Chains A and B, each alone.
Chain A
Amino acid sequence: MSEPILEVTDLRRLFDVSKPWLERVVAREPRQLLTAVDEVSFTINKGETFALVGESGSGKSTVAKMVVGLLGPSGGRVRFAGVPEGQRPRPGMVQMIFQDPYASLNPRWRVADIIAEPMIVTGTRKDAASRAARVAELLTLVGLSPKDGDKYPHQFSGGQRQRIAIARALSSEPEFIVCDEPTSALDVSVQAQILNLMRELQERLGLTYLFISHNLAVVRHMAHRIGVMYLGRLVEVQESDALFLAPKHPYTRLLIDAVPNLAEIGRDRVPVQGEVPSPINPPSGCTFHPRCPIAMPVCSRERPAFRDGAACHALAPQTVAAE
């Protein structure tokens, strides 16, 4: 259980958001770079669910895309266990489930073809008969009927489409699945079905998930360990229970506090002011300091180091003493 399957070290990704070349040269403006992900390091162990949470613009989806290889990193490494340095894992070992099941399935293909395609691409099953058998097996596994393979995606509801997307992801026999907001487009009762299915599949097939979500309650339900991201940086990584019981970073505390909770009926609260700043022009030092309730002078000057599961000046005793 404790053997790592993925190691991400100092991952960094820049995006060029400058104006078109000619316009930029005429206006004598420098190139403008946006740091979407910076200094992100974590490991994921075999069979566990590691979640990344954060608000929009925190870089969690960019990390997901770099892990599956849809985006190249600008710095740092993504390394899977047993894969030599600088190489990608075997085709089909890493799969992805996307947020919008209406956009991620080809509307002109039959469901059986959609699910069989990864087997053809990765060459795991060469003959059509064994592929068809496997498709039927997968459809049953995700709670659909083998007969559904003849239908088209538009004949299914959102939840059923997400089941098809899961079956497709499983068809290349992956060990690692990146799930980017897999239930955000679904209604709660359907979300519960999909989350239950994903946990069942994990237990049965020994899958490892990297689970991306902005919904803390969903993450709490799914993840063993959680990483909290803010403006492209990882601010805290902890075991799920510990994170919710005793959050270390003030941003994590803010996030947990901001979630409307069924248990607190009619609660009046004092929300934290301000919004996530633009990643093009992030604040100096610790990027959270303008919104932080416990910010010290050092926070606006220096970037805090990631130590003992969190990146915050207030957690380092020497800094607190010096202030």
Chain B
Amino acid sequence: MTEKPVLEVKGLTLDFATRRGTLRALDGVSFTIGRGEVLGVVGESGAGKSLTGTAIIGLVERPGRITGGEIRLNGQRIDNLPPKEMRAIRGRKIGMIFQDPLTSLNPVFRIGDQLTETLQAHLPLSKAEARQRAIELLIEVGIPAPEKRIDGYPHEFSGGMRQRVVIALALAAGPDLIIADEPTTALDVSVQAQIITLLKRLCRTRGTSVMLITHDMGVIAETADRVAVMYAGRIAEIGPVADVIRHPRHPYARGLMGAIPALDTRVKRLTQISGSMPRLDSIPKGCAFQPRCTMAIPRCSLERPELVQAGASRAACWLTNAETEVPA
């Protein structure tokens, strides 16, 4: 990639100071997202995928605090900006789509008011221009009869239509990056398919980069260019979607792919990873996955593996690390 990435996250570390000591929720998370690229972020609950998104848009709530690393948007560092400057970036340069469209829209304002407010906050538009722009946006996201629907309230829209409005809001100011946190989890499958197609089409035509956070590997397979698999606040594996799905290198990624029931084949038993993800206060030393790993070697419980090249992907595992001599 010769072009500069839109987003660059380097060694991002996030701590929660609690009465019982500091909990490390993100530990040295590094990745980049190129222009027009869709990066999928998967992991189980508590893996830190949503937190990564929240950290990027600067909405980490106390007692959480970024304690290390940096986040760059178009080369500019944004993790240490004062709140006022961050507000100008949020919505303008980075758009957001959250899981539940009902809670991300204000129930007492008309759809049109919410769209024009966002547009006017970021772009120099008159009221009439903003309204015109809002109607265009609603057409773009496929809302029928937008001239009429623009004066409707969120409760008058169905789940899928609401999520379309949320997408219109995220795209309103023409951001470089959209962070979509479980955008289809609250929707039925047939509607989910519509929303995924829409999101893909819009980002492709506009050249917007997307960080797609979801627990559904299927959604990632269809949408993302690259995927990062997170585990216990760290990236276990990152690489092109086809490689990570077909040839996962990290034992956790491999277990995860085997655990997903497939539509076209029926297996006798799903691969199961015994145990569950460690709590933040008891993340083991060395590799965080080591207690559940069937292939662990002594080194795994002593030293933490870094992300190293493994095929087309990069994995944080001692077994794929060239400097480890794997016992035959």
Contacts and interface: CB of A to CB of B under 8 A. Distances in A.
Q: Interface centre among B196, B200, B258, B264, by most A CB within 10 Å?
A: B264
B260 A188 contact: yes
Contacts of B159: 275
A266 B200 CA distance: 10
The number of chain B residues touching the other chain, given as a range, is 35 or more
A91 B33 CA distance: 58
B62 to A, nearest CB: 25
Contacts of A275: 158-161, 188, 190-191
B270 A192 contact: yes
B269 A263 contact: no
B272 interface: yes
A256 B241 CA distance: 22
Nearest to A276: B188
B193 A269 contact: yes
Contacts, number: 140
A149 to B, nearest CB: 20
Given A192-B259, A260-B221, A265-B245, A272 B190 contact: yes
Contact of A265 (B221, B260, B270, B273): B221
Contacts of B68: none
B245 A262 contact: yes
A260 B191 contact: no
B217 interface: yes
By secondary structure, the B interface counts as helix
Contact of A269 (B45, B191, B197): B197
A124 interface: no
B219 interface: yes
B261 interface: yes
A259 interface: yes
Contacts of B218: 217, 259-262
Q: Interface centre among A188, A199, A216, A272, by most B CB within 10 Å?
A: A188
Contacts of A269: 193, 197, 222
Contact of B266 (A187, A240, A264, A267): A240
Contacts of B86: none
Interface in A38-58: 55-56
B293 interface: no
Nearest to B268: A199
Nearest to B214: A260
A263 B190 contact: no
Nearest to A251: B190
A300 interface: no
Interface string B178-189: 000000000011
B194 A265 contact: no
A174 B63 CA distance: 48
B262 interface: yes
B276 A157 contact: yes
A217 to B, nearest CB: 4
A157 B194 CA distance: 34
Contact of B260 (A254, A262, A276): A262
Given A193-B274, A255-B189, A261 B197 contact: no
Interface in A220-257: 220-221, 240-241, 244, 254-257
B189 A189 contact: no
A56 B257 CA distance: 27
Q: Interface centre among A189, A259, A270, by most B CB within 10 Å?
A: A189
Contacts of B262: 217, 220, 261-263
A221 B264 CA distance: 10
B281 to A, nearest CB: 14
A267 B262 CA distance: 16
Nearest to A185: B45
B222 A260 contact: yes
Interface string A172-189: 000000000000000111
Given A218-B261, A241-B266, A275-B160, A258 B190 contact: yes
A159 interface: yes
A130 interface: no
A20 interface: no
Interface string B244-268: 0100000000011111111110110
A313 interface: no
B276 to A, nearest CB: 5
A189 B252 CA distance: 10
Q: Interface centre among B161, B196, B241, B266, by most A CB within 10 Å?
A: B266
A159 B192 CA distance: 26
Nearest to B42: A188
B27 interface: no
A199 B261 CA distance: 14
Contacts of B242: 265-266
B215 interface: yes
A188 B241 contact: no
A221 B188 contact: no
A83 to B, nearest CB: 33
B44 interface: yes
A195 interface: yes
Nearest to A194: B272
Given A193-B273, A199-B269, A268-B197, 10 more contacts: A55-B188, A217-B262, A221-B261, A221-B266, A254-B190, A260-B218, A268-B200, A269-B197, A271-B193, A275-B188
9 contacts: A188-B215, A188-B259, A196-B270, A217-B263, A255-B190, A257-B193, A261-B262, A273-B194, A275-B161
Closest 7 CB pairs of A and B: A260-B218, A192-B259, A187-B44, A221-B261, A271-B193, A192-B270, A55-B188
Interface of B: 44-45, 158-161, 188-194, 196-197, 200, 215-219, 221-222, 241-242, 245, 255-264, 266-267, 269-274, 276-277
